[in-house]
Amino acid sequence: MSNAIGDTIKILRSERGITQERLAEQLNISAPAVSKWERGEARPDITLVPKLAAFLGISTDKLFGIDQTAESVFYNKVYDTDQYYWGVEPSTMCYEVLHCLPPTRPLRLLDIGCGEGKDAVFFARCGYIVSAFDLSEAGLEKTRLLAEKARVTVNTFSANLWHYLLTENYDILHSSGVFAYIKPDIRAEIMENYKTHVNDGGLVAFQTFVQKPFIERAPEKETNAYPWKSGELFTYFHDWYIENCSEYVFDCNSAGVPHKHAANRLFARNIKELH
């Protein structure tokens, strides 16, 4: 008998460093019940499926092995080559993270939507303890390859940021070019979750595309992209210390067509108390 669902639970649980006991506790069931799922001796009760999927950060479809979002199909295709679509050099934003919160002590960093890993690997090379996730398996595979070449460790895992709510704290959350895939109606919940999982003194370094009437849509014309409004990202962090928030326009040549993007960049610190 195929145990696709049990295998998925086991793989994702291990990737995320979650014990069977912890998963059981979260679902209010016993640890042996989780063990039985993973051995294929039982299936999760249907009423537990939404909570289980949310805790593992995937859609219920993916839990049943049928997740094919437009983004994963698109990016798996784009990344399915030896070339690095986004290159292997880190973005300038990474150097700003280094400047803002240097790894003078062990700092945990999460790269949200890491793509092919150019930024995650850079952070690992600088000495941060890096985890990185993306929807695209092809992107994650290239991230692992890049890390291997640089002889550093990046803890990669596949997750959909729509469903993957953080359960552990980080010192730095980094994300570039990804948030436009978050539908407007779920942004507040996701940003709130991120805010509550950054250590005291920690940092978010986020970049997202914004809509401007004077900038044409990118040639990819992705139907599942929802550019943000200028300033929208900043408002979620209004009660944090804003290190830097900016808007800029840059050239892009994706799909071989020269065009422009407008983006907002936010560096905000979680400061509980002024010392």
Ligand X SMILES: C[S@@+](CC[C@H](N)C(=O)[O-])C[C@H]1O[C@@H](n2cnc3c(N)ncnc32)[C@H](O)[C@@H]1O
**Chain positions contacting ligand X, by CB under 6 A:** 71, 75, 86, 113-115, 118-119, 134-136, 139, 160-162, 176-178, 181
User: Which residue, among 246, 265, 232, 270, has the nearest Cα to 93 in the 3D structure?
Assistant: 265
d(CA 226, CA 95): 27
| Residue 94 beta carbon to ligand X: minimum distance, rounded to whole angstroms | 9
| Residue 154 beta carbon to ligand X: minimum distance, rounded to whole angstroms | 13
**Closest CB to ligand X among residues 75, 234:** 75
Residue showing the smallest CB distance to ligand X in the complex: 115
β-strand partners of 129: 108
Tokens representing 43?
């299936």
**Closest CB to ligand X among residues 37, 79:** 79
| Residue 139 beta carbon to ligand X: minimum distance, rounded to whole angstroms | 5
Residue 73 one-letter amino acid:
V
Q: Residue 252 in contact with residue 261, Cβ under 8 Å?
A: yes
**Closest CB to ligand X among residues 122, 236:** 122
d(CA 20, CA 261): 44
By the 10 Å C-beta count (0-12 exposed, 13-18 middle, 19+ buried), 99 is classed as exposed
Residue 50: Cβ within 10 Å count: 13
| Residue 204 beta carbon to ligand X: minimum distance, rounded to whole angstroms | 14
| Residue 195 beta carbon to ligand X: minimum distance, rounded to whole angstroms | 18
CA count, 13 A, side-chain hemisphere, 85: 19
CA count, 13 A, side-chain hemisphere, 93: 28
| Residue 48 beta carbon to ligand X: minimum distance, rounded to whole angstroms | 23
**Closest CB to ligand X among residues 21, 216:** 216
